[in-house]
Amino acid sequence: MTSEDGTMVRKVDTSLTGAAGEHLVLSRLLSRGFLAAQAPRGTRKADILVNFLDGGEPCLIQVKSRQYGSDGGWHMGEKHESQVDKDLFFCFVDFQPHNPTVHVIPAQVVAETVRVDHEIWLSTPGKRGQAHNPTKFRRLRPNPYGKAENWMDEYLENWDQIRLLSLQPSTSSE
């Protein structure tokens, strides 16, 4: 496999790609002054937990990482269409460029994008005119059906939306 500049790139084990993505996101959060920690393995919906020392609502982050692929997208599932919690964010890590990028996207936006993209894909004939078969697999792509080109740009390294959540008063009892 070669990179855009023609240098050879070794394919990294996908479990290492996932761990690297989680550590990258954790590093970016901590360097911006967020109190963040990895969630215990197997925790439902969250890879990283974020809390705020000055109050405000804590939030959950699910990290999706990629190192290559023709559509530039990330693996998702049917379950992601229903994850719309206001305190849940997805961080989409792309290791394909020399300098990895992170798109920070609220769960509600991810759910709607994945749902609409899949619905349109199902209703569009395949390469030979056949109907697409329903599947539990989904993709979050930079250019999905139903979204404007470059729709992800506003979420590139957009950590401020997490900080804005911290400004909302906490609903938990002290």
Confirm whether 143 is domain-assigned.
yes
Domain annotation covers residue 48: yes
152 is in which domain, residue-wise? 14-166
CATH number of the domain enclosing 139: 3.40.1350.10
Please tell me whether residue 31 adopts helix, strand or coil conformation.
helix
Domain count, the chain: 1
Residue by residue, pLDDT tens for the chain (174 residues) are 555 555 555 667 777 999 999 999 999 999 999 999 999 988 889 999 999 888 778 999 999 999 988 888 999 999 999 999 999 999 999 998 689 999 999 999 999 999 999 999 999 998 899 999 999 999 999 989 889 999 999 999 999 999 887 777 655 544
Query: What's this model's pTM, rounded to 2 decimal places?
Result: 0.87
113: tokens are 């994008």
Residues 6+ apart with CB under 8 A from 145: 116, 117, 120, 121, 124
Helix, strand, coil percent content, the chain, rounded in steps of 5: 30, 25, 50
Asked if 105 and 90 count as a contact pair (C-beta separation under 8 A), the reply is yes
Q: What is the pLDDT of residue 174?
A: 44
Q: Is residue 4 part of a domain?
A: no
Query: Within a domain: residue 72?
Result: yes
Residue 3 in any domain: the answer is: no
Cβ atoms of residues 106 and 114 within 8 Å:
no
Q: CB-based contacts of 168: which residues, under 8 Å, 6+ apart?
A: 56, 57
Residue 172 domain flag: no
Residue 157 lies in a domain: yes
Q: Considering the domain boundaries, does residue 117 fall inside one?
A: yes
* Strand partners for 140: 74
